[in-house]
Amino acid sequence: MKTNVIGVMLAIAAVTIVLPTISPLARSQNSSELAGTSWKLVKLQAGDETTSVPDDGSKYTITFGRNGRVTARVDCNRGGSTWKSNRPNELQFGSWSMTRAKCPPGSLHDRIVREGAAVRSYAIKNGHLFLSGMAAGGYYELEPLTTPGRRRP
């Protein structure tokens, strides 16, 4: 009996020691409202008030995985990275890997690739996701991407 009590106490101690060492990324992903959501681009609003609207928002998408990974389609290219949100409305991406195809004229690809990695914050308003924090100001507005089997945010 005494051995069982000691075993249980050791197990509790082990959990108490290990739990705080679980990656902050894993903890933040499980609690973030972005985890498991997918979005498509509605518009880009530059700091100088210039607005760019894609010809087809579904060519510009982002999916926030529950596992701390993010995937994106930027017109004719695809990419991936890590993401985390340690505090409400804070967003951090890791290094991006992207395919390097040349997109057709009129594509927003170059602008998004140049500015998108600088996103530092987000807000969800009226069901739309707003990404901001770029040095030049401005924001991205996205709406939920609905595909069979995917949940809307």
Q: How confident is the model at residue 147 (pLDDT cuts 50, 70, 90)?
A: low
Considering the domain boundaries, does residue 18 fall inside one? Answer: no
Q: What is the pTM of this model?
A: 0.75
- E strand or H helix at 147, and its extent? none
CATH assignment at residue 103: 2.40.128.270
151 in any annotated domain:
no
Domain count, the chain: 1
Nearest Cα residue to 41 out of 66, 75, 69, 68: 75
pLDDT of residue 75: 97
HEC per residue, 74-119:
ECCEEEEEEEECCCCCECEECCCEECCCCCCCCCCHHHHHHHHCCC
Choose between 42 and 146: higher pLDDT.
42
Mean pLDDT along residues 54-77: 97
Whether 78 and 69 have beta carbons less than 8 Å apart is answered as: no
Over the stretch 7-53, which tens digit does the pLDDT of each residue have?
333 333 333 333 333 334 433 343 589 999 999 999 999 888 899 99
Residue 146 pLDDT: 82
Residue 8 covered by a domain: no
Looking at the predicted structure, is the pLDDT value of residue 134 above 90? no
